[in-house]
Amino acid sequence: MPVTTEKKGLFISGTGTGVGKSIIGSGLAKHLRSKGLDVGVMKPLETGVADPTQGGDDARLLAWAASATDQMAQINPYCFKTPAAPATASRLENRPVAYAELVAQGRALIARHDFTIIEGAGGLMVPVSGGFLIADLAKDLGLDVLVVADAALGTINRTLTTLTAARYLELQIAGYIINRMPQDPTAAETSAPHDLASLTFEELLAVIPEVTGDAHEQVDAVARLLPTLPSWPLLRTLFPEPQIGRLAADSSS
């Protein structure tokens, strides 16, 4: 059944580096792919990569989760060895980022698929090239932003700062997810979801418990976990309408 909805994808950003954007994005991709959607994925810029010719770890994880048919050059067009912001890495490696071409490539990818998950680098204020930020990339690609936060001490400040910046920059915010909630959380971790929900305009879409294993095992765990979450009815509204009935039936079976 063709998708006849404007819900063409999500741009996954985080409150910083290391909050689990790739696991969440890949988990979403794997779940939606298992329900019949043609899922596109993209990691436009990745740094700190041991062998850029093979694509970055995050990009390859997304491609695996989505059973992607696109070439790695389309999924991960800019891949750098230097562990730094993309603008810094590209300057040090003398490989400029062609921003307009990157946006065009992302739009073409979105047009080819039922639903596309694009993962940023770090947070929204990370520089890309020529004064452009990750926030600009999300806006120019025309996708709503799903913010991933961790549960650790300081997440209230980091999450509020990210959401405030997104509003200031006039991004469309799909909501936010608190990731990696420990099985035995501290007082700060326990209270973070309630505190953030009481302080934000945006929707808290899910609290994802900490999962173990290698990256592929973590993605599998998140993909299985998603439809069991109490907030799944809210989270699934982000995805194409023709699939919602099937997703609802699957989650109740």
Tokens of 218: 């973590």
One of 7, 8, 21, 43 is an active-site residue; which one? 43
The residue with tokens 């999924």 is 75
The rounded distance, in Å, linking the Cα atoms of 169 and 152 is 26
Please, are residues 144 and 173 in contact by the beta-carbon 8 Å criterion?
yes
- 30 tagged catalytic: no
**Residue numbers annotated as active site:** 43
